[in-house]
Structures are given as C-alpha cells and as structure tokens.
Structure 1
Amino acid sequence: MTHDHDLVLRPTARQADAALNPPPGRNGGDLVVETLAGLGATTVFGLPGQHALGMFDALRRSDLGYVGLRVENNAGFAADAHGRITGQATPLLLSTGPGALTALAALQEAAAASAPVLAISSQVPSEGIGGGRHGYLHELRDQKASFRDVVKSVHTVRTASQIPSAVAAAWESALTAPHGPVWVEIPQDVLLAETALPVVTALDATPRDLVPRPELTAAAAHLLQHAERPAIIAGGGVVRSDASGKLLALAEKLDAPVVTTFGGKGAFPWEHPLSMQSWLEDRHTTDFLEDADVLLVVGSGLGELSSNYHTFAPRGRVVQIEADLGKLESNHPGLGIHADARTALTALLETVGERRDPSAAGRVSALLSKVRERIAGQELTLEQEVLAAVREALPDDSPSFWDMTILAYWAWSAFDARRPNTMHSAQGAGGLGYGFPAALGAAAADRTRPVLAVSGDGGAMYSIAELASAKQYELPVTWLIVDDGGYGILREYMTDTFGEATATELSRPDFVALAESFGVPAVRTTAESLREDLAKALAQPGPSVVVLPAVLRMFAPTHL
C-alpha cells in the first residue's frame, strides 16, 4: 500500500540529481541564501562586514534582491517596513559586534510593533566564540545575549549542516502570531567553508495557527450580543492579521462603535457611521469607552498610548483578543482570548447573533463633534491645514511612514489612513530615525506606487545618509522634512514642564541643497503650497525631498 507521506518523502529525479551532484564552489553562505530563497524570501537588506562576507558573496550566486543601506539600524528599519507591507519574514544580513549592535534599536521597534524581521548575523570564527582569548576584531563575550532580551527567539549555528534548519526555525518563529524579529548567528568560518551538502530546494516552515478556544468564543459572543452599549478597540493585530474585513462585518452585525489605536490605523473605515476614528488621546473618547458595558479589544495590549496614558478605567466587561500571551489581560482583567485576531474574529462572526442599536451612530457623531469642538478651541489651524495637505497629496493606496515628530503625533489621532496597512510609525518603541529608511523598505517591496516618509529635522539627521541608498536603487520615496530648528516635541514638553527648553535647539544643513548633492530632487515649500509640491514630488519617479520650514504645536491632551 502506498501512503501519501511516502510520496512526499520520495525525492524527484531532479532533486535526487541535485543532491548527488551539487555545484562546486558553494559555502555556508550559499546554504543561507538557498534556504531564504526556499522559504520564499525575495529581497534582503543589510550591510556587509568582515565576518559576514561569506553570506554577501553568496548573494551574487542567487536570485535574491539586495538593498544595502548605509547604517545597520536603518537597514533594520527598512527590513521592518518590508515585513509589515508584505506580511512575510524579511531577512536582515548583519556583521559581527558593532555591526550587529547598531541594529538593536531597529529590532526593538520591530519587536514592539510585531514586525517579522529575520536578522542573520555573522560571528567570530568558532574557536573564538565565548572565550575572548583570541582577541578577534568585533568580538563580544556573548553576542546573542545582547539580543535575547529584544528579539522573539535566538538561533545559533555551529556547523554548515545546521544552517537550513536554524534559518527555517527562525522564519517560522518570526511569522507565528504574534509576529516579531528573530536572531540567527553563524560563525565566519562556517560561512566561508566549502560544502558538499545538497542544494536547499524546499523547506516547510509554515507558522503555527493560533486559534481561539471555542468555549471562550461562545462566552464572548453571548456578552456582545446581549450588551446594551458595546464598543470595540481595534489595534495593530487586526492590521497584521489582515482582519479588517472581519472587523467591519462584526461591528455592523453588532452595531458596535469602533476606535482604532495608533498602531491599528486603517483597520476600520474612517468615515463609517460607527467609526470613532483614532482620538484616543482625548478624554471624550476615553469616557465613551469607559461607559461601554462590554468592550471588545482586538489586537491591542492597551498600553500607554492606547489607554490615554493609563487613565482609561473601563467599568464594563472587557473581552480581549490578543496573540501575545504576555499582553493578555496585562493591563485590565477580563475575558482573555489568546488567539490571532483574524481567526478569533472569524469565530465570533460565526457564533454571535445580530444586535440592532439605532442610537449607536448618533452617539458616535456626538462624540466626534465634541472632539472637533475641543480642537477648534486651541487655535491650531496651521497644523490641521498641513495634515490635510498631506492627506490630499498622498494617493489612497500609498504607504506612509512617520518618524517621531509633531506632525506624526497629529497623524496618530487625526489622519485618515484610508486603507489597512498603509500608515506606519515608530510608536512601538519610539526611537528617532524610522520614517525615511522604513519608507525605502516599503518601496523595495512594491515599486509601483509612491511611498511617503515624514520626519522632523532632528529625526531626519539620523538617516540622512540613506539619501544615497534611495538614489542608488532609485526607490520611489518622497521625504517630507518639517524643519522647526530642533527637537520640536521635546522643546514643547520641556517648556510646558520646566518653563524653558534645554538641548533641543539644532544647527542643521540646507536640506534642499544636501538632497540635491545626492542627485535627489528637492524643493522648499510653504503650508500654502505643500499639497501641490508634495503631489508633484510623489508623482515623479525615484526619490525626492520636500522641506517645510514650520513650527507646529501639539493639541492639548486631555488625560483627566
């Protein structure tokens, strides 16, 4: 009798020939790139270094695309964005010691935002690992220890035969909900050593499904169907699991108002009658959510920003769907459902009955009117005009990547993302320098549509070198730099707290002339001409820079 698994395990004639007659001149680096290609990778990011040259040399013998950036941290941001846009694990190739450590901040952002980055680093030769006695350049006593507290999982290779399985295990880990960055390290001698191992042709690294327990789904459906004032908070997990359609169907089935977190931008239609948009840093919204007798939280841990700086105190029952077990009921007790957002919402849709509430849309409209009135009373016309100009200039399906700058803080609350998975920022970990290199990673994933990056002048200086990368690969990224002469949000925080600001004022270059020196077209604009100048820049091929000299202010928050 022939069983199905016998057919799967039996190699084809072509596979057998390739196994018995591998091409000459291959090394450990070839096993890395063959494994990545076999897993489905198409593009890798990184920066070469002495111990990693075996991997980079192998790239020329593969079909993988390579995008090299000028700083490892920026390469990490690019890989992060590529992973967010594609939903696939994105390889990040790094060297040892300083090269690896320079990417730590980017990996922290990927971890906080659940971006599937597959970081593969070299190591010193095997004989020097852990001892320090040989004094190799770039040597660390325990390199992986520097990453273990940041990434989702660590995978160590000691021989060439371990490479395919280690990389495949890391790939599976990165893409198993919750997504996240992973770390693989391979010694220099293993990468350089010739190998007669068969060419890697196929691997199974299918991520494990994280499905909800049926008794929890039944309990959640009962609570929601019989609630008087249900409400939904939709977080980044909805976007990452491609569950926006499921969320919309559930909200309409229940007549339940929905607010999206800053990481969940685009998860729910902005102008829908049930949409509370994203005004989480507003007491009116907080009051509305606290008044819900059943609150469904999907794909959010209700951290600092999503809880209006931990002032949110729900009075009703909380049902939380969360893939990250460490975030489940970590801030508020409730009915915790450990599951991927898409599978859990699918199960709820199949279980819950219809609930009609003619008053829901009216209550949402009244809430948004209160928010608009509050903002209107703060004389912030310039800020609203600038954000509106960006929205009008940006095509609906174009991704945007925002650095930690005042305009981004406005965008978190007030920007209509219009499509799921199109607005991203560094609000996971909150580091500077994310916007532009992340936009380059997104553009490398899809060159058919322009990508927008938004930075302040302070954050722009973190990644100014990547103008060279943008030009080298002719990536369609338009970089909007809001130049206010310093770290604007820190200036505002310090002035509000201490009466004056210290260490926030910056000398900066002529950004237009600097961009042009890289061969990147640039223009200096005004608030009045921003929409036109930005739309023109986005419409032209390749990279471009738009500089807006302006001092923007934040709207006053209402935490209490």
Structure 2
Amino acid sequence: MTHDHDLVLRPTEAQTAAALAPPPGRTGGDLVVETLRGLGATTVFGLPGQHALALFDAVGRSDLRLVGLRTENSAGFAADAYGRLTGEAVPLLLSTGPGALMSLPALAEAAAASAPVLAISSQVPSPGLGGGRRGHLHELREQSASFRDVVKSVHTARTPSQIPSVVAEAWESALTAPHGPVWVEIPEDVLRAETVIPQVTGMDASPRELAPRPELTALAAHWLSRAARPVIIAGGGVIRADAAGKLKQLAERLNAPVVTTFGGKGAFPWNHPLSLQSWLEDRHMTDFLEDADVLLVVGSGLGELSSNYHTFFPTGRVVQIEADLGKLESNHAALGIHADARLALQALLETVGPREDADAPARVRAVLSDIAARLAAQDLTLEQQLLTSIRSALPARSPSFWDMTILSYWAWSAFDAKHPNTMHSAQGAGGLGYAFPAALGAALAEPGSPVLAVSGDGGAMYSVSELATAKQYGLDVTWLIVDDGGYGILREYMTDAYDGRTTGTELTRPDFTALAASFGVPASTTTPATLREDLAAALTTPGPSVLVLPATLRMFAPTHLG
C-alpha cells in the first residue's frame, strides 16, 4: 500500500543540474517571476514604483509579457477582464503606498465579479514594517490592512525562501471557487536581495474543486421534478464555471423558464422559448418569479440589482447553488448548496427526472409581452434603437465592456449578449472608468477579435489616459463614448429625487475626437442614425478607435415601486 508520505517527488536530472548551477545575480524578484512562470502565467499588468523596481527588473529579463497601463486602477481593470475571459489567475504588479492604494477600486470590482486577479505589491524595507513611523517614502502603518476587507485572501513573504510558496498559495486561492482577487506583499529589500535559492522549477497550485453534497442535490432534484411552476435564475457563477451548456440541458429537461442576472448575461440563449431574458428591474418579472413554487438560483447571491432593489420576496421553495459561502442564504432562506455551479448542475442532471409542461413557453411570452407594452408606453425608442444598432454592428462572439452609464443600464436588461462570457460591466462594485481599460485587457486575452467599450463622457474621463496604452500596444478596441455633458444617470436620479437640482453632475469635457487624435487614435463623431454603420466600420478596422455619440438618454421608469 502507498501512503501520501511515500509520494516523494524526485528531481529530474535537468532540475538537479539547474539547482547546482543557478544563473548569477538572481534576486527575490526573480523568484517571483520564476514562480509565476512555473504556475503558467504569460502576461502581467502593472506599473513600476520605487520599491518594486527589482520585481520589474526581473520581469524585464524574463519572457513574461508586461503590459503597462497609465494608472494602477486601469491596470487592475485590465487584469480583471483578462482573468474573466481566460479563467486564468492574472498577476497585477504594484508598488508601495499610493500605487497600491490606487488599485483598490479595481480589486473591489474583481471581488464583486469573482475575477482571479493576483495582486503582488512591494512594501517598505523589512526594518520599517509594523510601525509606520520610520519615514519611508510611500509608507503605510499596515498596508495589507487596506486590502484585507476587499480581496479574497492576503499573503505575505518576509524572506526570499517564502516567496515561491506564498505566491503559489495565493494563486491557488485566486482560482479556487469562488474565484477572486488576492493580495501578495513583499518588502523591497526581499525583492532586491540576491539569492542562492535554486531556480524555481517545480510548481503546482491546482485549485480545489467545490463539489455539492449529494443529499442536497437529491432533495433539490426531487423538488424540481415535482414542481408545478419551477423557474431558474442564472447568475454570474454559471459563466465563471463554464456551465451554460448544462444550464440549458437542465432547463429543457424541467421545462423551466430561465432569467439571467446582469452578471449572468449570455448564460442562456436570449431567444430560447424558455428565456425570460434579463428584465430583472421590472415588476412584471418580479411577480413572475415570486409566483414560482420552486425557484432554482444558480451562481447568484440575489443582491440589490438581481432582486429588483430588494423588492423580490419568493413565496415558494428556493434552492440556491453558490460557490461563495458568504452569499449562501444571505438574502433569502433556501436549500443552500455550497458548490461550483458546473458540478452542481451536473449532479442535478444525473438525478432530476423529466418534467412535462407545454404551457411554459406561453407563460414566458406573456410576461415578456407585458414588459414590452410597458416600455412602449414610455417613448424610449431612441435608447432601444441604439442597443439594436450596437448589437447589429458587434460580431456575435466579440467581447463588450460597459461602464456605469445610462446606455449600460439599458444593456443590462435589454442587450442580447449572444454567447456566455462576452458581455461585462462594472455593476459588481459600480465604480466608474471600468470599460475602456477592461476592454484593453480583453483585447490582449483574445487577439484577433475586435472588442467594444461603452462609456459616458463622465466615466470616460477616468480612463482617457489609456488611449496611450491602446496606441502603444496597437490594441483592437473601439471605444464608444456617449457624450451628454455630465454624469447622466446621477443627473437623472437627482432630478427625480431633489426637485430638479442636479448638483455636481454637469461637466466641462474635452473635444473627445481631437483628444483621441492627439494620441494618434482615429476618432469621429457619430449619430443615432449612423451608429450601426460607423460602429461596424470601426470594429473591422484594426487597432484602437473612438466613436463619440452626442446624445442625452433616459432610463425606463422605475418598476420596483409598483
């Protein structure tokens, strides 16, 4: 019999030779790079800073591809998108203090969206740790404390020998369901110190699988098979687990209508007879979901947006499949199944019996018809036409990234993503400036596929410096900027809530076409009538481009109040 302690990995002859004759001049920074390469990393994002120079020097001497953006926040958004599209852990290299803190909004978005970002930050030299009183440039009293409540886990290396294990541990954490950003911190002197540690050649940080407990899936299958009006809510966990195919099989076996959350866009075919699409911010949809006698929630915590601003109160049984233990039953009592969506759906497919329901498609058509009638009464033709034009111009498998702007709010509900993992937005944490740098990360992850970014003029100003990045790397991203002269969604909210006062929402902005041209990026102004043609042309032209659409849009009437 073989015991675990008998399974000793013996070094190969090549590994032994490398260990006995390491290249001269290696540092702690080289240990980071060697570990990342051993784990499978090929691309890193980030910005250098004083305390992180040894790390960046090591990257520069390696075959890692370094993508340098103009702010740490943008670099974090780019890494987030690269991770969402590839499913890989993505290194984000940061310097101490201000540089590290500039990444916080991006890491908050990655945490909300379960994107596997591996943030590696320098720290002040080891003698200065713990007190915050030594007067080092960029010094914080306890830097990791600023990130502990944002990221999934925090890891620190205080000696060179700790680096490979610490980086591998963080890598495994980032990729174990639920995916998420992690934080690694290494002091400057440790990164700079020459090391006699052999080259890192044997790394393994395989993520742990999160399988469902069989007694739970057995009970869930029993309820679903015998339900009179089952409905499925599919969230972002279905996308992250690559489980859209299994979701479709289960829905069809149960004849259960499916609505996708905004984070789950594309998890279910938009025009399927059982598709309720994504109209979660609509009282007709809320009523339909409340009427379900068994509601299967897959990969969603039913947070604010997915619950129509917490006005959704299920009346039947709820089964919730969720990889994030903290989100399990966090908003509604349920049969909670702590599991990866793909593994849980597979278990249900192996257990659930077929369910006949010839009326399900008619019920779906009825609720979508009610929603369409409500919209038709509000004179919102322009907004719907813009989405139709974008959908027509954008290739079916091209990724799109949407900032926090009125057109994006529309897209959450009304845009057909066509395929899983192709539509992304910042609605997890809700920060501005996400779309364009995220689209740059996507273009690096999927070269050869044009990528669309959509921003308002207010959000565009958060990341306009990344036009230089787009030009430097020749990235195939088209940036559509809807210019309404302010923070349009906030203006609308304030108009409704504060007797028409719109404090702080009106903005002076640049001539975006001239600004883009100054970066050497082709730019032009479009109109609602020509958007489809102009956008199609921009998307088929290699390299970055900017389209500016002067337009003032409106949201559909709030539907969580009725």
Give me the TM-score of the superposition, normalised by structure 1: 0.99
Using a 3 Å threshold, how does the CA distance of structure 1 residues 5 and 40 change in structure 2: closer, same or farther?
farther
Verify: 1:531 aligned to 2:514, yes or no: no
Question: Does the aligned pair in 1 maintain the 2:132–2:142 contact within 8 Å?
Answer: no
Find the counterpart in structure 2 of residue 273 from structure 1.
273
CA distance in 2, matches of 1:8, 1:423: 45
Counterpart residue number, 2:59: 59
Distance 1:36 1:376 in 2: 54
CA deviation after TM superposition for structure 1 residue 8, in Å: 5.9
The corresponding residue for 1:331 is 331
Equivalent position of 1:185 in the other structure: 185
SS in 2 for 1:472: helix
Percent of aligned positions that are identical: 78
Q: 2: distance between equivalents of 1:3 and 1:413?
A: 54
Q: What is the 5 A alignment of 1:422-433? A: 422-433=422-433
Query: Does the CA contact (< 8 Å) of 2:133 and 2:141 recur in 1?
Result: no
Gaps of 5+ in 1: none
Name the structure 2 match of 1:255.
255
Distance 1:7 1:318 in 2: 45
Q: How do 1:480-519 residues align onto structure 2 when only pairs under 5 Å count?
A: 480-500=480-500, 501-519=502-520
CA distance, structure 1, for counterparts of residue 402 and residue 36 of structure 2 = 29
The amino acid of 2:201's aligned partner reads T
Q: Report the Cα offset of residue 447 of structure 1.
A: 1.1
Cα offsets for 1:43-75 (capped at 9, x unmatched): 100000000001100012211111100000010
Aligned length: 560
Aligned partner of 1:498: which letter?
A: Y
Letter in 1 for 2:532: R
Cα distance in structure 2, aligned partners of 1:36 and 1:472: 25
1:353-364 matches, within 5 Å, as 353-364=353-364
Q: Gaps (5+ residues) in structure 2?
A: none
Pair 1:295-2:295 in alignment: yes
Q: Secondary structure at the match of 1:463?
A: helix
Q: For 2:339 and 2:551, how far apart are their aligned partners in 1?
A: 44
**Separation of aligned partners in 2, 1:232 and 1:329:** 16
Q: Distance in 1 between matches of 2:200 and 2:475?
A: 31
Q: Tell me how far 1:134 sits from its aligned partner.
A: 2.3
Letter in 1 for 2:509: R
2:386 is matched with 386
* 1:308 alignment counterpart: 308
Aligned to 1:557: 558
Give the distance between the partners of 2:240 and 2:62, measured in 1 at CA: 29
What is the RMSD computed on CA atoms of the aligned residues? Answer: 1.1
Structure-to-structure mapping, 1:69-218, within 5 angstroms: 69-218=69-218
Q: Distance in 2 between matches of 1:375 and 1:455?
A: 23
Instruction: Describe the SS at the equivalent of 2:127.
Output: helix
> Displacement, 1:217?
0.5
Q: Which residue of 2 aligns with 1:231?
A: 231
Amino acid corresponding to residue 535 of structure 2 in structure 1 = L
Over 4 Å off, 4+ runs: 1-8
SS at match of 2:464: coil
User: What is the correspondence of 1:14-53 to structure 2 with a 5 Å cutoff?
Assistant: 14-53=14-53
Q: Which residue of 1 is the match for residue 241 of structure 2?
A: 241
What's the counterpart of residue 448 of structure 2? 448
Taking the aligned partners of 2:164 and 2:194, their CA distance within structure 1 comes to: 15
* Residue 32 (structure 2) pairs with residue 11 (structure 1): no
Q: Which amino acid aligns with 2:258?
A: V
Query: 3-state SS of the aligned residue for 1:184?
Result: strand
- Rounded to whole Å, the distance in 2 between the matches of 1:488 and 1:243 is 36
* Residue in 2 that maps onto 1:322: 322
Amino acid at match of 2:382: L
> What CA distance in whole angstroms lies between the structure 2 residues aligned with 1:24 and 1:7?
32
Q: Which deviations, in whole Å up to 9, do the C-alpha atoms of 1:207-256 show, x marking residues without a partner?
A: 11111100000000000000000000000000000000000000000000
TM-score (norm 2): 0.98
Q: Distance in 2 between matches of 1:418 and 1:5?
A: 50
Secondary structure, aligned partner of 2:454: strand
